[in-house]
Amino acid sequence: MANQLHLDQLWNFPASKPRNFRLEQAAGLPDPARRYLLHAIASGTQLASAVRLRMHGQIKLRRWLPFDAEQVISWDRGMIWHATVRMHGIPIRGFDRLVNGHGAMRWRMFGIIPVMTASGPDITRSAAGRIGGESVWLPSVLCGDDVLWTASDSKLLHARFTVQGEDVDLELKVDDQGRLETVKLRRWGNPDGAEFHYLNFGGVVEAEDTFGGYTIPTCLRVGWHFGTDRFESEGEFFRVTVDDAIFR
């Protein structure tokens, strides 16, 4: 109940002054960036500052386990991912979050027995990178004047911006219509249990859908070591399907 309350509080935080997406906003961008934004955001759509997602999928904790989750991303405040993971039918509930510059993870079996608790600067820094990667679920934020777009070729582009003090260089691969194919960035983490450091992180987009004027990835395979052979063999840990998205 407390986690649901926190989700609602983050979702109900006052939004920035609304404005609508216009085609000319993408006119001066590199061609693949222009194609991506025009594909992701319908002309006239109100540029949202937050998204609320319902999702399900599998997460790898030594073996693949099913989960159901709800997530709020509020660009000015942070994000909360609240999920229930089932291990041998036993529910493990908790959250990953970054709100107002403070990251934390709390997970409990039956809602009582602590399974995992973490916080501190490394968790905050890693969570900020996660929000940067998940900006593709809130593509309106990539229309901001503080986003620097460059293109390596006709399909590979970079968006550079800052999330909660963390510099993000988001690499997107798009097709000829602007449909997103892959997402990649350098994210702070320690998937091997060693000291935190920057590693390749990203995912493959396998499906998309449109909600309220936004076309976003709805089926992804995500993990560490993206772009190397290690992604398939050990890095992939998150397979997600987005069931619904609401923007405000």
C-alpha to C-alpha distance for 7 and 246, rounded to whole angstroms: 13
Q: Structure tokens of 247? A: 């923007």
In percent, how much of the chain has pLDDT > 70?
A: 98
Q: State yes or no: pLDDT of 4 exceeds 90.
A: no
User: Which amino acid appears at position 51 of this protein?
Assistant: V
Closest to 52 measured CA to CA, from 137, 131, 144:
137
Residue located via tokens 């097709």: 175
Which strand (E) or helix (H) includes residue 3?
Answer: helix 2-11
User: Which amino acid appears at position 186 of this protein?
Assistant: R
Residue 198: beta bridge partners? 188
Q: Give residue 153's Cα distance to chain centre.
A: 24
Which strand (E) or helix (H) includes residue 37?
Answer: helix 31-40
Look at residue 13 in the predicted model and tell me its pLDDT. Answer: 86
- Distances 10 to 13, 179, 203 between C-alpha atoms, Å: 5, 29, 26
Closest to 71 measured CA to CA, from 1, 165, 4, 2:
4
Look at residue 16 in the predicted model and tell me its pLDDT. Answer: 73
Q: State yes or no: pLDDT of 157 exceeds 80.
A: yes
C-alpha to C-alpha distance for 179 and 40, rounded to whole angstroms: 8
Q: State yes or no: pLDDT of 137 exceeds 90.
A: yes
Look at residue 110 in the predicted model and tell me its pLDDT. Answer: 81
Whole-prediction pTM = 0.95
* pLDDT per position as a tens digit, 13-50: 887 777 999 999 999 999 999 999 999 999 999 999 99
C-alpha to C-alpha distance for 164 and 44, rounded to whole angstroms: 29
- DSSP letter for 20, please: B
Q: What is the 3-state secondary structure (H, E, C) of 159-178?
A: EEEEECCEEEEEEEEECCCC
User: Which amino acid appears at position 145 of this protein?
Assistant: D
Strand bridging mode 113-119 / 102-109? antiparallel
Summary count for the chain: helices (H), strands (E): 4, 13
